[in-house]
Amino acid sequence: MAGADIDVVIRQTAKQQNKTLLAAIKARRDHFTGLAAKAKDAASKERYKQAAKDVVEQGAAAARRLQVSADNAADSFARSMRMAAEISAAKAVADAAKAAEKAAEKTEKAPKPAKTAAKGKKAVAPKAKAKAKAKPARKKKS
């Protein structure tokens, strides 16, 4: 089941549980039907027959609830996986658009020519300029 979708696994498991539950219900019904056949008086025979009917009714309702619950869980899981895939795809498209936009910006901007020193002045590195502009340190008074 490595490649199986989990919603399919949920449905299969519920189907298997449903079959097991229905088999248990039938066994219990048969038990009460057997007791009704062995009963000596009409009142207990009727009571066992009614118990058999009640077991089938309540068991079928439980099986139906189990199946509906499993279907809802499987549908919810499948829906959330679809939404996650859509979000992931949208994010990939947005990332691709950003990358394309950055590439377009780089091609639009022409590289600026390097600065040349003015006539009669020596070119100074940016750090050296910052140091030259900095105020000289104060002298301590003694």
> Per-block average pLDDT, block size 10, for the chain (142 residues)?
74 95 97 95 95 97 96 92 90 87 75 62 57 60 62
For residue range 13-51, what is the model confidence (pLDDT) as tens digits? 999 999 999 999 999 999 999 999 999 999 999 999 999
For the full predicted model, state whether its pTM sits above 0.85: no
Q: What is the pLDDT of residue 137?
A: 62
What's the CA angle centered on 24, arms 22 and 26, to 5 degrees? 70
**Mapping DSSP to helix (H, G, I), strand (E, B) and coil, where does residue 108 land?**
helix
Domain ranges in the chain? 6-81
- Dihedral sign of CA atoms 74, 79, 84, 86 in order: positive
